[in-house]
């Protein structure tokens, strides 16, 4: 995944800060990975490399641990994060079809983030509302129940509309700021 503007610097300073607060022992590896992830939202390859150097551990070992524990994510969270429940009830009611529908619409596979970081897609274990199966969790705070492929289209449309609206608002604010600055200049 390509880094965004300024992200490299952010990763380097985050790892530096985490290393400064660690005893630099091998036992510190998991807590250090957790701290990096809580600050950056994921574990970029560059962060793992730098941690490997700082803790004097082969990078391959760090990568092994990060991929072994599913608390760690190697891809950045998308602006719109979708988690498809694959617990027994959801699976039985068509969770797999829901997941495939999202994969098709987002053009990514489960576990991935779209290159523009707009979408990320994951499968999760039971989220505790089996009566609504198949269930999808959007952005960690919104539960969608009875998600059919048609509803997947609806959810994707809502994302697209929300994103478009946000872009328009940003543009309007930008124009407003320019206008105010130009008027301020005239009044001097």
Residues that bind ligand FES (CB under 6 A): 85, 87-90, 126-130, 133, 135
- Nearer to ligand FES by Cβ, of 77 and 94: the residue is 94
Smallest distance, Å, CB 164 to ligand FES? Answer: 31
Smallest distance, Å, CB 134 to ligand FES? Answer: 7
- Nearer to ligand FES by Cβ, of 43 and 99: the residue is 99
- Nearer to ligand FES by Cβ, of 18 and 133: the residue is 133
Place of tokens 């510190």: 28
- Nearer to ligand FES by Cβ, of 12 and 125: the residue is 125
Smallest distance, Å, CB 151 to ligand FES? Answer: 15
Smallest distance, Å, CB 124 to ligand FES? Answer: 8
What does the chain look like in DSSP terms, one character per residue? Answer: -PPPTTHHHHHHHHHHHHHHTS--SGGGHHHHHHHHHHHHSS--HHHHHHHHHHHT--HHHHHHHHHHSTT--SSPPPSEEEEEE-SHHHHHTTHHHHHHHHHHHHTS-TT-B-TTSSEEEEEES--S-GGG-S-EEETTTEEE-S--HHHHHHHHHHHHHHHHHHHHHHHHHHHHHHHHHHHHHHT-
| Nearest residue to ligand FES, by Cβ distance, number only | 87
Smallest distance, Å, CB 101 to ligand FES? Answer: 16
- Nearer to ligand FES by Cβ, of 42 and 146: the residue is 146
């Amino acid at each position: 995944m390509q880094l965004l503007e300024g992200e490299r610097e952010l990763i380097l300073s985050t790892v530096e800060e985490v290393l400064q607060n660690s005893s630099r022992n091998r036992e510190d590896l998991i807590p250090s990975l957790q701290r990096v992830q809580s600050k950056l939202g994921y574990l970029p390859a560059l962060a793992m490399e730098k941690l490997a150097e700082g803790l004097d551990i082969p990078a391959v070992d760090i990568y092994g641990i990060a991929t072994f524990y599913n608390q760690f994510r190697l891809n950045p969270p998308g602006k719109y994060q979708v988690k498809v429940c694959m617990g027994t009830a959801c699976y039985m009611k068509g969770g797999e079809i829901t997941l495939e529908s999202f994969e098709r619409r987002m053009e990514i596979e489960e576990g991935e983030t779209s290159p523009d970081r707009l979408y990320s897609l994951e499968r999760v274990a039971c989220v505790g509302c089996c009566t609504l199966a198949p269930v999808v969790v959007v952005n960690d705070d919104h539960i969608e129940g009875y998600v059919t492929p048609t509803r997947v289209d609806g959810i994707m449309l809502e994302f697209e509309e929300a994103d478009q609206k946000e872009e328009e608002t940003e543009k309007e604010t930008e124009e407003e700021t320019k206008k105010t600055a130009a008027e301020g200049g005239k009044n001097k």
